[in-house]
Structure 1
Amino acid sequence: MFIRNERSIKEFMQLYPVVAWLIIIQLAVWFLTNFLQTPIGTLIENWGTGVNFYISQGEYWRLVTAIFLHAGLMHVLFNSFALVLFGPALEQMLGKLKFLVTYLGTGLIGNLATFLLGPALYSHVGASGAIYGLFGIYVFMVAFRKQLIDQSSSQIITVIAVIGLLMTFIRPGINVYAHVFGFIGGFAIAPMILANVRPYNPWVRRQHVDDGSIGFDPNRWQKKQRNKQLLKKGLWIFLGILVVLGLFSRIF
């Protein structure tokens, strides 16, 4: 479920448009607010950052806009990387609209918990609450809907979810409320959103050819074997990135 075998960025965007546009939007916002530091970027940052005090004054849109803002390059790249890995399978399984509502909904749950439980002047940005919401849905699959997730993916999501939650409390500067309650929100709504869904199928290709017919990859079985090996390597690389980020955050 978590190995990307699309042949191009164009194909990825065609198959998973919601995931693709979420990434494009948050990268574009980061480019304006952090890289170029333009007046419009400053306006977006001031208007969209999740600040508990301003939310308490009625600026409730900040509970959603904060999802698309990020503090720095590693922050936005890490969340975009996580969305590329874990978003496509759920977008295919849930459908575009339900996936978008789920993603924003779990992010909103995390930010709402931050507002209700965090300090009055607490300020936060990032899509981590929504990402952890996806983790919560996958963990529900592992626990209660095993027919929707293969064994290898179950092991991967279990390890990553455990490490991610542990690092939530180890690394400084983390919005613990968003991580924990985003995860809980995803787990809680999973029974409803996973009703009547089918397992993710990476071999269903909507490849458009000249005659308008649907293509099918004849080498799918060979690719599947190669992908199993890549899956193991990808897991260790991902875990290595988590460990390195954790170490650097403690050093600096």
Structure 2
Amino acid sequence: MDTRTRFRLMPVTLLLVAVNLLIYLLTVIAGMNGWWGNGAQLLHWGANYWPLTIGEGQYWRLFTSMFLHAGWWHLFTNMLGLLIAGVFLEPVIRQVRFGIVYLFTGLLSDYASIWFHRQVVGVGASGAIFGVYGVFLALLTTRLFPPVPRRNFLAYISLFILLNLLSVSFAQDIDNAAHLTGFLSGMLAGYILYFTLTPDDGKRLK
């Protein structure tokens, strides 16, 4: 499958990446530090923060915070992870399911984030992205896909999980609550989605 064809099969992934990039550029143009971000400015743009999100009833922050990032490296790693998952998974589960999974797991993980870190300003798409990988792993443990690609991608997803566990061990300020909630809710969503998919859907994993 050529690159142009793959892009046509992943419009939601590309739209999500474009929106994240656009919002990041707007925050930088507005004076945000492009390397590290700024908590007060991120709050102005819609970051997640328990006293405001829950305490003041500004629940929309659970959504807007998914599209904000604290610096270019935060943005780059998240968007790279989203692209890698989206290019393979979106053609399988199709656009509507992919978008629903992304938003569902992202909202759940953002709530878990501020539940466990009530005095921390939270931003980033990583909870939703872990949700997408959770869906992928769940489907790979079913009989949806042919045996060979299932084994190959199962090894790839396992490596992704291992690398992220290692990064958690050596890095600070990692939002484990958001990541774990996104991943587990994604796996649950994946097993539910399995019953809506057919072997022909599984054959689109390439």
TM norm structure 2: 0.84
Q: Deviations over 1:10-66 (max 9, x none)?
A: x554221100110000001111113x2359xx9775141111110121000111111
- How far did residue 182 of structure 1 move? 0.6
AA aligned to 2:3 is R
2:10 matches 1:7: no
Matches within 5 A, 1:1-252: 6-8=2-4, 11-34=5-28, 36-38=29-31, 46-56=44-54, 57-119=56-118, 121-142=119-140, 144-148=141-145, 149-197=149-197, 198-201=201-204
Higher relative contact order (CA 8 A, sep 6+): 2
Fraction of identical pairs, as percent: 27
Corresponding position of 2:36: none
**Cα RMSD for the two superposed structures:** 2.2
Question: In 2, Cα distance between the equivalents of 1:167 and 1:102?
Answer: 25
Structure 2 spans left out of the alignment, 5+ residues: 33-39
AA aligned to 2:27 is T
Contact 2:144 2:194 in 1 (8 A): no
Residues 68/106 of structure 1: CA separation in 2 closer, same or farther (3 Å cut): same
Structure showing greater Rg: 1
TM norm structure 1: 0.69
AA aligned to 2:191 is P
Question: In 1, Cα distance between the equivalents of 2:8 and 2:156?
Answer: 26
State the aligned residue count: 192
Q: Deviations over 1:86-118 (max 9, x none)?
A: 013221122211110100111111111112222
Question: In 2, Cα distance between the equivalents of 1:200 and 1:89?
Answer: 11
Structure 1 spans left out of the alignment, 5+ residues: 204-252
